[in-house]
Amino acid sequence: MLMVGTLTAAETDGDAELIDKLNQTFGLELFADGELWQDDAAAVAKRLHWPRESLTDTQSSYRLYADSDARVLGARPYSLVMYARDGKPDSLSMVFANKGDFEGVDKKGDDKKRAAAIRDFKDAVKADARTIEEALTVTLGDLRRQTFGETPETRESVARWDWREHAILLASPKDEYVAVRIVRKDVADNFGRAARVGGLRELLQNRVARRDNGDVTVSQIPMVDQGPKGYCVPATWERYLRYLEIPADMYLLAMAGNTGAGGGTYIDELTANIDLYVRRYGCKIQAVDSGLDTRNIARYVDKGLPLMWACYVNDSMEKNISKRAEERLKVTDWDAYGAELKPVKKEYKGASLRDRNRGHVRMIVGYNAKTGELAISDSWGNWAAERWLTVEEAAATSQNYLCIIKW
């Protein structure tokens, strides 16, 4: 068995030279010193030029969807993200050729072009994995192979290099993606398993926010931006898992859900696999009554539990609720606002706007019993973290599928 790449005492004494060599290999100003985990996360993100994606009381993330001319480890990256906890870097994920972001694989109406793009994608996966492995081996020496992940559906075979307290892992599941993850050595030694979260009931209860206007919402849900691909299901599940302090990655979840090229996930399959995963943390997925009345939603939101909701996207409605979200922030007379919603409720009561080509998954994160509204949250960036629609609008676009993760 090949040994993990190590550095000689002479090399570790020359920190500046070695750090420069590592940064040149990555093509990033990644390391300022030999202790990435002790750095200030915002400072790391600033030197990497990765914009902040999410910020909660305990977690933050910084993600860049890179331009086509960018190169990291000699290959073209698509998604570059750093996850932080309590202001310190916790892990990094760099995703290269992958079936979600690769251009052309979701080409609609042109089978020949799509087939050609998929062939190019498969070739790119092989080429990127080879290029990255060679680059890391030149700098860090021989690799060793291990598995990383807790369940068969979320487990990867990875090449591993160690430097100080950093484990650099290269994963390349067949015809799925190429990813480089940087994690703490002890996390890699434990195959990616994190400690169970204690006091979850009290933790979530404290995340329930109540406003004077009657809004009740779940706060502290991390944002994950799915980018230009159809990864709403794995991205939203990543948000839910991270909300519960459970490690997650949308690209890995997409593989577990048999997500198609460019997007499109089998919801039931991914839900079943995530259920197996979260049970290792003392949680489980539970389907709930699909009724979209505020009383039903309150049963879960009042406990700090967002709901995963399968629906259909209607462009006209999306524009309306986005406009309403902006206007809602300025409301001072909530009785007048409620009166303004009456025509909307009348218009959509009993309506059916179910376009099977526009299936979507988002979270329901709040309710207002007085105005008859539900708060939704989408994996589209912070602008979509909280918007409101009436119960009638929600019912008109619902797939009648709701579930939660409970302990």
pLDDT, tens digit (0-9, with 9 covering 90-100), for 154-182: 899 999 999 999 999 999 999 999 999 99
- Range with lowest mean pLDDT among 194-208, 231-245, 301-315: 194-208
Judge if 105 and 218 occupy the same domain: no
- Residue 3 belongs to a domain: no
Q: Read off the pLDDT band of 108 (50, 70, 90).
A: low
Provide the pLDDT for residue 14: 56
Sign of CA dihedral 126, 252, 265, 316: negative
Contact 36, 182 (CB under 8 A): yes
Contacts of 260 (CB under 8 A, 6+ apart): 99
Judge if 22 and 115 occupy the same domain: yes
Judge if 142 and 249 occupy the same domain: no
Average pLDDT over residues 189-214: 89
Judge if 273 and 401 occupy the same domain: yes
Provide the pLDDT for residue 278: 94
pLDDT at residue 7 tops 60: no
- Residue 2 belongs to a domain: no
Contacts of 47 (CB under 8 A, 6+ apart): 29, 32
Q: Print the domain residue range for 46.
A: 9-189
Provide the pLDDT for residue 9: 39
- Angle subtended by helix axes 232-243 and 267-279, to nearest 10: 20
pLDDT at residue 147 tops 70: yes
- Residue 392 belongs to a domain: yes
Judge if 242 and 385 occupy the same domain: yes
Choose one of 160, 189, 218: the last residue of a domain: 189
Sign of CA dihedral 262, 267, 268, 270: positive
- Residue 395 belongs to a domain: yes
- What span, in angstroms and rounded, lies between the C-alpha atoms of 231 and 211? 32
- 22-31 core/surface letters (b: 16 or more CB in 10 A; e: else): beebbebebb
Judge if 286 and 184 occupy the same domain: no
Judge if 119 and 205 occupy the same domain: no
Q: Model confidence over 290-311: pLDDT tens digits?
A: 899 999 999 999 999 999 999 9
Provide the pLDDT for residue 5: 42
Provide the pLDDT for residue 258: 87
DSSP codes joined into one string, 57-92 = SSEEEEEEE--TT--BTTB--SEEEEEEETTEEEEE
- Residue 1 belongs to a domain: no
Choose one of 159, 189, 219: the last residue of a domain: 189
**Which tokens in the block code for residue 321?**
């609720």
Average pLDDT over residues 365-381: 98
Judge if 168 and 231 occupy the same domain: no
**Which tokens in the block code for residue 84?**
């932080």
Pairing of strands 373-377, 88-98: unpaired
Provide the pLDDT for residue 195: 75
Average pLDDT over residues 267-282: 92
Judge if 261 and 402 occupy the same domain: yes
- Residue 293 belongs to a domain: yes
Choose one of 149, 167, 189: the last residue of a domain: 189
Provide the pLDDT for residue 104: 83
Average pLDDT over residues 99-120: 84
Judge if 234 and 185 occupy the same domain: no
Position with higher pLDDT, 4 vs 149: 149
Average pLDDT, the chain: 92
Q: Model confidence over 31-51: pLDDT tens digits?
A: 998 899 999 999 999 999 999
Judge if 245 and 335 occupy the same domain: yes
Average pLDDT over residues 370-392: 98
- Residue 112 belongs to a domain: yes
Judge if 142 and 15 occupy the same domain: yes
* Tally of structural domains, the chain: 2
- What span, in angstroms and rounded, lies between the C-alpha atoms of 43 and 232? 30
pLDDT at residue 11 tops 50: no
CATH code for the domain of 234? 3.90.70.10
pTM score, two decimals? 0.92
Sign of CA dihedral 61, 255, 66, 106: negative
- What span, in angstroms and rounded, lies between the C-alpha atoms of 175 and 68? 20
Average pLDDT over residues 66-85: 98
Provide the pLDDT for residue 109: 62
- Residue 194 belongs to a domain: no
Provide the pLDDT for residue 8: 43
